[in-house]
Amino acid sequence: MNTQTGALLHQAHMTTIEALQSLEEFLGANRKPPQVDDLVARRMKQLSRTLRSEVESHFGFEENHLFKAFVEQGETGIVTMLTHEHRSILPLAIQVADLALAAAEGGSFSESAWTEFKDAGSELIEREIFHIQKEEMGLIAAISALIDPEADQELADIYRREVG
């Protein structure tokens, strides 16, 4: 059975994966700090928005609403693991989002900002994709097993209201 909540999470995961793949291409194509023209600036702003939305609103929904419902059903193992991963991804994502925004606003990457962006970006890509794969394989199926249609409706409404 497909749930609304699962479908909403899946959609956001795909958006994040796309943003991370585009980041990976961008990092791979530029050994030295790239020029920040209008196109790159727009890309960096978009990246910053997507990352912040993922780790602030989306993680927030998972932890404050969805994981809570799981814990009420005694499913603490998966919740502990995924929450732990959120803790390790969040600061990295904010760091990458801030560097991207600073480059967009300042019109350039300095040598050191580019090195930092590349290192943090590569690490983020790895951790976040791994995390999303786990949620796609385990969490979304667990939602349909554990959450009844009424609770699903409530969670989906909360998601649309708080995350968009």
Residue (116 or 136) nearer to Fe ion, CB = 136
Nearest-CA neighbor of 47 among 136, 8, 55?
55
What's the closest the beta carbon of residue 89 comes to Fe ion, in angstroms?
A: 8
Residues 45-74 that bind Fe ion (CB under 5 A): 62
Q: Which residues contact 132 (CB under 8 A, 6 or more apart)?
A: 13, 16, 17
Residue (41 or 132) nearer to Fe ion, CB = 132
Dihedral of alpha carbons 141, 147, 150, 151, sign:
negative
Question: Under the criterion CB under 5 A, does residue 128 sit at the interface with Fe ion?
Answer: no
Binding residue for Fe ion, selected from 48, 100, 135, 155, defined by CB under 5 A: 135
Q: Residue 73 burial by CB count (10 A; 0-12/13-18/19+): exposed, middle or buried?
A: exposed
Beta bridge partners, 108, equal: 35
Residue (135 or 152) nearer to Fe ion, CB = 135
What's the closest the beta carbon of residue 7 comes to Fe ion, in angstroms?
A: 13
Give contact residues for Fe ion (rule: CB under 5 A).
62, 135
